[in-house]
Amino acid sequence: MDAAAPKIAVLPDGVRTWLGEAVRSGGGQVVPVSAAEALVWASPDSADGLADVLADHGDHLRWVQLPWAGIEPFVPVLDDARLWTCGKGVYAEPVAELALSLTLAGLRGVGTYARSRSWREHGAVGTNLQGARVVVVGGGAITGSFARMVAPFEVELVVVRRSVDPFPGALRTVPLDALDDELPEAAVALVAAALTPETEGLFDARRLALMADDAWLVNVARGRHVVTDDLVAALRAGDLGGAALDVTDPEPLPDGHPLWTLPNCIVTPHVGNTPEMAVPLLAARVTENVRRWAAGETLLGPVDVAAGY
């Protein structure tokens, strides 16, 4: 065993054991946490377990790799005593692909047609994505992938994010407090942002009312970006064209919930990134970050501790 190889623990035991091989592929040694300098945390929801590990061994753990891009459960555990990374950007391609699929399905009436039981049950419905105004909330890797995928449709892409630096492929980039000004002209509002106190409940009754009555809301981020009861009311009233949701609040969406049966709503069960997609992508990220850690290079997917994502 190479004594110079970084010593990295993979916990909890028995969870996503393939991450151990990812560590070794990056040149690291998988060791007990008592002997580790870094930790790959394998459980996406067990913040309490991670807090216990840090309480017992945090004095010598200098880097923690979290498993998913969204780190809301771990925000109370974050600190400035070590480097934190997550799966930020790892799943951008598959999630953006689903975002485009849901956008097209909504605009082209796929949900309506899929629920039909007769060829002539519904009249022709659907509008074009080609040349449409698309407002994306969030300026991360998912938005970057989506911007590239949607470019052939020659959309007018507006990106809403904290920084107003130009975003590649966007007509313009505006701050979050300008979202209200952008929504009335949007054919699609796509949510691809991190969940923070600033973005929780972002699409409530007031903002939904700003959208055109044929516009679609697409959410591939977190369910709590949208106030569910307000969305149900807007969909029932026909105040917007529809909603296409890969995430909901609550989640899982209970059987019998109105969103399942509303004719202008499409729900997919948080499958923007399936396990089959996630395993090779996360393994590759861990391998690369272990290699970079050993070489003293900048790690991928750094967590902004102050911002909470």
Active-site positions read 222, 251, 270
- How far apart CA 211 and CA 217 sit, in angstroms, is 9
φ, ψ for residue 70, nearest 5 deg? -80, 125
Question: Nearest to residue 244, comparing CAs of 215, 273, 274?
Answer: 215
User: Which residues are 191's β-sheet partners?
Assistant: 137, 219
* Cis ω for the linkage preceding 6 (within 30 of 0): no
- Secondary element (H or E) of residue 159: strand 156-160
Going by the DSSP 8-state scheme, the letter that residue 305 receives in this structure is T
Please, is 5 exposed, middle or buried when counting C-beta atoms within 10 Å of its C-beta (0-12, 13-18, 19+)?
Answer: middle
168 contacts 194 by C-beta, under 8 angstroms: no
Give me 106's structure tokens.
Answer: 């909504």
Handedness of CA 59, 62, 65, 71 (dihedral sign): positive
Residue with tokens 């992508």: 281
Closest CA to 242 of 146, 125, 136: 125
Using DSSP's 3-state secondary structure scheme, residue 288 falls into helix
